[in-house]
Structure 1
Amino acid sequence: MNRTNKGTKRGRMIALLASTVMVSVAGAGLPLRPAVAQEAARVYDFNIPAKPIRAAMNDIVRVSGIDVVFAETPAASAMGNPVRGSLTPSQAVATLLSGTGVTYGFTDSNTVTISATGERLGAVDDGSVLLDSIIVRTQGATTEGTGSYTTTQMNTATPLGLSIRETPQSVSVVTQQKIEDKNYQTLEEALLDTPGITAFQGNTGDRWNYYARGQQISGILYDGLKYSSGSFTRDLTASDDMAVYDRVEVVRGATGLSQGTGNPSATINLVRKRPTAGNQSSVTVTGSSWGHGSILFDTSGQLNDDGSVRGRFVANAGAGDWYQDHNERSKLQFYGTVEADIGEATTVNLGVSYQKDREDGYAGGGFPVRADGSFYDLDPTDFLGADWNYLRKEATTVYFDLEHEFANDWTLEFTSQGKWSEGDLLTYYHYPDSMGNLTYNPRRWWGDDRQFSADCVTSAPMGQLRAI
């Protein structure tokens, strides 16, 4: 089974029957020659046991994100060498293929081609050589570790895993690299920077509304699953913290192909981080001039020797003062997920997350205006409530995904989530009276919210469908 980077969907394998013919020299096959281009010298942690070259190359792709091109011949099923340690992609490939009779060459900084030494590629009567079918493997949809500001495929507009160029709608992707560059902490911060999207607070401080093309966005997805995102629902559910997400996909316009009824505004899809094949860990500490700080710990990697079981754990904690007077907030977030290959054709992912949000001196949205539309003499740091206004939220989410590959490139993907949330907030409204004075009106809401969502998609190449 050919596997690639396991983001939300494996990189597509595109079978290309080459129509190009190459003139042979003295009737001999064309041996592969190493290209002069060299891959980047970035070092990755590999822990790949001895296994067939095809399977081991897939592991190298998952860790490093390089592309691999090779003829689909018996040489790809030969046993490769173990690959362990901190290596560049070139060193990893060289270690894997040493002594196997298979050669390689980097055709550019991110693409390696491998072939059996002296392998004939199929001569035809006119003396030319017809290339075999070639398998092209890409890095997949995951953006983490790529340094890219785009993704090779997305599933928000359609469930087909199309590239941005192939998607027939206006789309944007907030990748992991951009999240890190701009230090986005929450979804609203990311969307404020996204073309065509307007984000602003509602009449409570944590009730953010998003608009596109003159319409409010009601379609907020998590791993492609839709959840209710109305104003009162958001009063009870925890904020969307970017610590556990790989990217945010935005499709402007209706997405009826994937969501049934389409909203003419836009659809927002948050795609969570998955376990990585290589071991990695990071600690990120942030602080602000207001007196607020946070620490993020993220670790991922293999949980057994052959890499068939992988895990990831994220812990995020923050506390301190905010820019508004009397406002103090804290957050605690945990996310854990385990992914396992069951045989050659099935992958299962199970995860759970927990988040707790706390605010004292909770603000009741933006500032009011006078009856004639003029502004009061207020500073952005002013707080118009009472120090006993508060916000309390907790949320637990459970994830279960299954992918299975049948014969003849048929695939089945099952995705499901369950979310349990509860919230309690004491906030306020201000209304101007006839004299222009502000009237203070405290309001309290509390309740719980439970949502469950599942999706099952079966797909096959068009040629297979025509044969039915």
Structure 2
Amino acid sequence: MNSPIRALPRSTSRSLCLAVRLALCAAPLVLPASALAEQIVQRYDIAAGPLGEVLSRYAQASGAPISFESRQVEGLTSPGVRGSFTTEGGFAQALLGSGLMASPTQDGYQLLQASPATDALELGPTTISGKVLGSTTEGSGSYTTGSTNTATRLALSLRETPQSVTVITRKKMDDQNIQNLDDVARTATGITLTKIGTDRSTYYSRGFEISDLQYDGIPTNISENYSMDVMSTSNMAIYDRVEVVRGANGLLQGTGNPSAAINLVRKRPTQDFRLGAELGAGSWDNYRSQVDVSGPLTPTGNVRGRAVAYYNNANSYKDGSGRDNQLLYLVGEADLDDATVLTVGATIQKDNQNGYDWGGLNTRSNGSFYPLSRSTNLNGKWAHLDRNNYTLFSDVTHNFDNEWKLTLAMNAIWSDADFLSAYPNRVSGDNYRMTVSQADYEDTQFALDLYATGPFELFGRKHQLMLGANTRQDEFDAVIKSATNNPTINITDFDYSALPNPILNAIGADYNYTRKERGLYGASRFSLTDDLSLILGTRVSWSDYKVGSPYTNDQYRENGRLVPYAGVVLDLDKHHTWYASYTEIYKTQSYYGVGNTLLDPIEGDNYETGIKGEYFEGRLNTSLAIFQTNLENMPEALSVSPTCGVTGTSKCYEAGAKVRNRGFELEVSGEPLENWNVSAGYTYSDPEYVAGSSKGSDYYRKIPRRLLKVSTDYRLPGVLDQWRVGGDVYAQSRTAADVTGYRIEQGGYALLNLHAHYQINQQFSVQYNLNNVLDKTYYQSLPTSNNFGGLYYGDPRNFAVTLRYQY
């Protein structure tokens, strides 16, 4: 168990500065005990009320989770926590007069009974204990969270949010050894992905493409053809959690598909000194190291910092492939006064890949699969994708005395990439021309968000209000060159290392994509009765999309577009809630009609209703959701010459199709029993054309209609309590390419992963992960035709061993 926080000498700031330097230069794993942090004073304004509710709010505000049994606090009240307190002092204030005390444990704090005669502490009754969870998941030891705000900016529990929400917590990421966004997509309920390149992933939810990522709630565009070539998502070390809100999210980000919002929430500085380190090794010479140091930079703790350094070098099961990934994350917080906090942070990431496989494999002309080894790589040693990502972010938050909070947040990303690779283009039979492209990418994204949240009173009841304005811009430039010596290979008999170095044309083609989005938004949560809440919101949005290439120059603008949002939440009993929500949709298209002009935006609406459950003080959450999405102006291919798109060689389309998607989702996450974490999700999604030339057929069969994802982790009892064991299962239904005259399809499959974790002592632990235990051979993505590649194997069986240190 962790010892209570003790006083920290004035040398703390020097110790932390030294620790930061060590983090950047392979720090040693042990520091002297004198580096333990002094309790940091923080200001709180938590009103009096039932003890359980006050503890919940205080745990969330302080980031210090506390475990207790509900009957320990039943019938007890708290005077609240108002003023400046240390973490333990705040707990003492909240528990004043209750005869209870908060004692530090490895995962936070435990509520204990104080004996007035001896001042000794006794554990309360030993039944299932409740752990009050906040939004921060680091150190919570849980597969669920206490609150999220990705859906509406209002801090609501999963049960209070009238949409489907999944949170991939820090513990789940560690247990499953999640290293990148693809790993997140594989474990998040309802999310799937396809690939057009080893690292060019496209994510889907509820039948449609996810067009934006969020960083701390600020949207970032990933919808251009080459966005994921330049945007590196190959590291999860700097994130506390990933929040996924499925369905439409136009209230906060404007234009977008009714798929999901993926919000990557960064780690923030802690009030106490912490040092974590990891060393990892795995299949195909996969080695990684990580150092994470956090704590106060001044004796009073009013300035705090955090640094994460990460390095990964790995080969691959694919011939000639490998990667080198370096990351540095720095973030600082400063209390400008008792009510105002300023945060400034930056990320530098360099991600270099050799033998980069852009085009993947191909099928035979009849759509059947070649019996090729999973190690097959059609690209030469010269192929590569080298990316540099630089991020600067900041926010300032002021808390008013009336419980209102005002936040101004900024996120800026500068990315560049150098790409050289090829895709297979069938000449005849098994012979393919390897069409080589070289590209230089530059992507600059900037976003600003100003919003306020707080309570107000109306008709004798207390309600919540959120008002905001945001703006963002994405400027994406690419210069693409072709080769003059594209080699021809026989896919059944070739040597990747013999492919000649490409000879590139001296002049390339210039491509430019510019997206601008501005909006005013607001939402209010009306407490109509003690059991019934109504959320009403709207966004007024201005969008501008401009594309320039040698073959097209076009622009689409949308001014003052209204996007309404409505939700209702009804508490059925102590544990269950019925909810329903509605929102409208519009999405700027990147398909082109005859004349090579952009199609009008997709429009539609999204409905969702369901039942949510919350048990054990929020430690276990369940949900059943039923949804329907209706989209109009969907693109339909025309039977004309392929002279459209930015290259002038793509199909031409018209906006005449309608697609309807109906489905349901089941999800469970959290702790059904003490020391047992579980998350499970089942998704059925069936998008189909309901109007247009494809009426009655399925929409985009390359993604599965059914998904099952189950993850679990269990701490063994008794003398084996230093061990945790668990695993996860991924299963999906069949997929197929949307082709005619032949068939490309793959049956459903299931994957099994296992892990075991051993706590060596208080500081050190070791973990073993075995993925694809049964060594299932499957295709992660199917091609769009039998001529141009796009077929990618999934990873074979592989292992990873991780040594962790926590101080």
- Give the TM interval when normalised to the shorter protein: 0.7 to 0.9
Give, as a single letter, the amino acid of the residue that structure 1 aligns with 2:203: Y
What amino acid is the match of 1:66?
I
Question: Contact 2:272 / 2:296 at 8 angstroms: preserved in 1?
Answer: yes
Residues matched between the structures, number: 394
Q: Determine the structure 2 residue equivalent to 1:444.
A: 438
Distance 1:460 1:359, change over 3 A: same
1:394 aligns with 2:388: yes
Q: Using a 3 Å threshold, how does the CA distance of structure 1 residues 435 and 168 change in structure 2: closer, same or farther? A: same
- 1:217 is matched with 210
Q: 1:104 to 1:64 in 2, by over 3 A?
A: farther
8 Å Cα contact 1:61/1:139 also seen in 2: no
Measured after TM superposition, the shift of residue 170 of structure 1 is: 1.4
TM-superposition CA deviations, 1:191-227 (whole Å, max 9, x none): 111121111212x221101011111111211111111
Would you say the 8 A contact 2:78–2:96 is kept in 1? no
Q: Which residue of 1 aligns with 2:65?
A: 65
CA shift at 1:409, angstroms? 1.2
Q: Is the aligned partner of 1:274 residue 2:281?
A: no
Distance 1:292 1:442, change over 3 A: same
Q: State the match for 2:286 in structure 1.
A: 292
* CA deviation after TM superposition for structure 1 residue 434, in Å: 2.5
The one of 251, 255, 269 equivalent to 2:245 is 251
Give 1:368 deviation, angstroms: 1.2
Residues 174, 190 of structure 1: 8 Å contact kept: yes
1:208 aligns with 2:225: no
Change (3 A) 1:373 1:145: same
- Alignment partners' CA distance in 2, 1:303 and 1:368: 56
Aligned to 1:325: 319
C-alpha separation between the residues in 1 aligned to 2:292 and 2:337?
A: 28
Displacement of 1:446 in angstroms is 0.9
SS of 1:283's equivalent in the other structure is: strand
Structure 1 or 2: larger helix share? Answer: 1
Superposed CA deviations along residues 400-455 of structure 1, whole A, max 9, x for unmatched, are: 11110123112101111111110011011002223232221111111211100111
SS at match of 2:417: strand
Select which of 354, 357, 366 maps to 1:360: 354
CA deviation after TM superposition for structure 1 residue 257, in Å: 2.5
Q: Distance between the aligned counterparts of 2:43 and 2:398, measured in 1?
A: 22
Q: Quick one: distance in 1 between partners of 2:372 and 2:424?
A: 14
Partner AA of 2:289 in structure 1: I
Which residue of 1 is the match for residue 100 of structure 2?
105
Cross-structure match for 1:377:
371
**Is residue 2:153 matched to residue 1:159?**
yes
- Structural mapping, 1:387-466, within 5 Å: 387-463=381-457
CA distance, structure 1, for counterparts of residue 289 and residue 40 of structure 2:
38
The code of the aligned residue for 2:148 comes to M
Q: Which runs of 5+ in 2 are unaligned?
A: 7-36, 47-54, 68-72, 117-130, 466-807
Decide whether the 8 Å contact of 2:63 with 2:136 is kept in 1.
no
Over the residues paired in the alignment, what is the CA RMSD in angstroms? 3.5
Counterparts of 1:211 and 1:263, CA distance in 2:
10
- How far did 1:269 drift? 0.7
- Is contact 2:38–2:272 with CA below 8 Å preserved after alignment? no
Counterpart Cα distance in 1 of 2:420 and 2:185: 27
* Change beyond 3 A, Cα 1:76–1:360: closer
Aligned with residue 303 of structure 2, among 279, 304, 309: 309
Distance 2:43 2:320 in 1: 61
Q: Distance in 2 between matches of 1:114 and 1:338?
A: 38
Higher strand share: 2
Give the whole-Å Cα distance in 1 for the aligned partners of 2:91 and 2:150: 39
2:299 alignment partner AA:
D
User: What is the match of residue 330 of structure 2?
Assistant: 336
- Name the TM-score, length of structure 2 as normaliser: 0.45
Is the CA contact 2:272–2:295 (under 8 Å) kept in the aligned structure 1?
Answer: yes
2-structure distance, mates of 1:237, 1:272: 17
For structure 1, which runs of at least 5 residues remain unmatched after alignment? 1-40, 84-88, 118-136
Shift in alpha-carbon separation, 1:114–1:277, aligned structure 2, 3 A: farther
C-alpha contact (below 8 Å) 1:143/1:175 kept by paired residues: yes
Q: Distance in 2 between matches of 1:101 and 1:156?
A: 35
Verify: 1:177 aligned to 2:171, yes or no: yes
> TM-score, normalised on structure 1?
0.76
Amino acid across the alignment from 2:191: I
- Give the superposition deviation at 1:142: 0.7
* Deviation readout 1:269-311 (Å, 9 max, x if unpaired): 1111111112111111111121120101111111112221111
> How far has the Cα of 1:178 moved from its partner?
0.3
Q: Partner of 1:426: helix, strand, or coil?
A: strand
User: Which residue matches 1:120?
Assistant: none
User: Residue 454 of structure 2 contacts residue 464 of structure 2 at CA under 8 Å; is this kept in 1?
Assistant: no
Change (3 A) 1:59 1:300: farther
Superposition deviation, residue 253 in structure 1: 0.5
Q: How big is the shift at 1:250?
A: 0.8
Counterparts of 1:217 and 1:361, CA distance in 2: 28
User: 2-side partners of 1:302 and 1:60: how far apart?
Assistant: 20
Indicate how the Cα distance of structure 1 residues 166 and 50 shifts in structure 2: closer, same or farther if over 3 A, else same: closer
SS in 1 for 2:428: coil
Cα separation, 1, equivalents of 2:206 and 2:464:
42
2:457 is paired with a residue whose SS is helix
